[in-house]
């Protein structure tokens, strides 16, 4: 897909890229883009959170759905999905990512929570291109595996949450299909299949106790393969649902 491929990245101002794309009728391919961080900020066993987002970067947009559950007083699990696509300048693409993880959470000082989650992700991205010289349709497909660890800290009260995360990811990419003219970029991926990313983010949630509007910005820096064509940020906005555990009655405790 001309612009989507994994998930993790960032940093050219969006408005600058927008005008460059208009000027040249299409932008260069992108082979990596970040996903939003899932930071549930749990305080007790049985708590659950579901996030639904619209997410976008300079070249891609789509939907993310995240879920998390506190399975004990200090252990949480999570499942994250992302579905992205792009279209423009005679080129289009689509991609997806599924992540599963588990980790530790610890409330402190009444309204603060510290968490660390780790996990694995699987995904793929397909790019469809049009060759300006031959007008012959071409495409590529790249699969990837992702390992991550994500420490985060947040402040949470009834109507407001705020937090920052610092996600570290290792992404292993492999070219599975190649029917395209952008051979140099795919050869680069073959020669440099492993990338390490630092992906910090900040988010704000505001609303009611059980449902809040959430906005998040995620930045991604490739620490070892800076020449990989990629997105280097992603914005997300959506709803975050918090499900509280049922309180035991005196009869149930007996």
Condensed to tens digits (0 to 9), the pLDDT of residues 142-193 reads 999 999 999 999 999 999 999 999 999 999 999 987 776 567 888 899 999 9
Number of domains composing the chain? 1
pLDDT at site 233: 95
Task: Give 3-state DSSP helix, strand, coil % of the chain, rounded to 5.
Answer: 10, 60, 30
Q: Which domain holds residue 64?
A: 14-243
**54 within a domain of the structure (yes/no):** yes
Residue 85: Cβ within 10 Å count? 18
**20 within a domain of the structure (yes/no):** yes
Average pLDDT over residues 57-65: 93
* Residue 254 in this model has a pLDDT that exceeds 90: no
pLDDT at site 9: 38
**2 within a domain of the structure (yes/no):** no
Tokens 């035991």 correspond to: 248
pLDDT at site 3: 45
pLDDT at site 49: 98
Q: What is the CATH number of the domain that holds 234?
A: 2.40.160.20
How does 190-218 read in b/e, with b if 16+ C-beta sit within 10 Å? eeeeebebebbbebebebeeeebebebeb
* Residue 117 in this model has a pLDDT that exceeds 50: yes
**8 within a domain of the structure (yes/no):** no
pLDDT at site 22: 32
- Per cent of the chain over pLDDT 70 is 80
Distance from C-alpha of 169 to C-alpha of 13, rounded to nearest angstrom: 23
**215 within a domain of the structure (yes/no):** yes
**178 within a domain of the structure (yes/no):** yes
Q: Is the pTM here over 0.85, yes or no?
A: no
Distance from C-alpha of 167 to C-alpha of 104, rounded to nearest angstrom: 15
**6 within a domain of the structure (yes/no):** no
* Residue 88 in this model has a pLDDT that exceeds 90: no
**248 within a domain of the structure (yes/no):** no
Query: What band does 20 get if pLDDT is binned at 50, 70 and 90?
Result: very low
* Residue 100 in this model has a pLDDT that exceeds 70: yes
């Amino acid at each position: 897909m001309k612009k989507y491929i994994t998930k993790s990245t960032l940093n050219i101002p969006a408005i600058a890229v927008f005008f460059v794309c208009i000027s040249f009728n299409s932008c260069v391919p992108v082979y990596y883009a970040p996903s939003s961080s899932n930071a549930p900020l749990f305080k007790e066993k049985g708590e659950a959170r579901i996030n639904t987002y619209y997410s976008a970067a300079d070249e891609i947009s789509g939907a993310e759905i995240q879920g998390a559950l506190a399975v004990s007083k200090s252990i949480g699990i999570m499942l994250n999905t992302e579905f992205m696509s792009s279209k423009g300048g005679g080129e289009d693409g689509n991609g997806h990512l599924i992540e599963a993880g588990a980790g530790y959470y610890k409330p402190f000082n009444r309204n603060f929570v510290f968490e660390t989650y780790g996990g694995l992700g699987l995904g793929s991205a397909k790019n469809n291109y049009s060759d300006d010289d031959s007008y012959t349709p071409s495409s590529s497909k790249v699969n990837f595996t992702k390992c991550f660890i994500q420490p985060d800290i947040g402040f949470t009260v009834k109507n407001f949450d705020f937090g920052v995360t610092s996600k570290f990811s290792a992404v292993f990419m492999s070219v599975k299909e190649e029917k395209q003219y952008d051979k140099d970029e795919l050869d680069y991926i073959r020669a440099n299949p492993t990338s390490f990313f630092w992906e910090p983010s900040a988010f704000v949630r505001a609303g009611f106790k059980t449902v809040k509007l959430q906005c998040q910005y995620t930045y991604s820096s490739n620490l070892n393969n800076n020449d990989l064509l990629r997105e280097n940020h992603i914005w997300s906005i959506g709803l975050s649902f918090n499900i509280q555990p049922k309180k035991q009655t005196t009869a149930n405790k007996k």
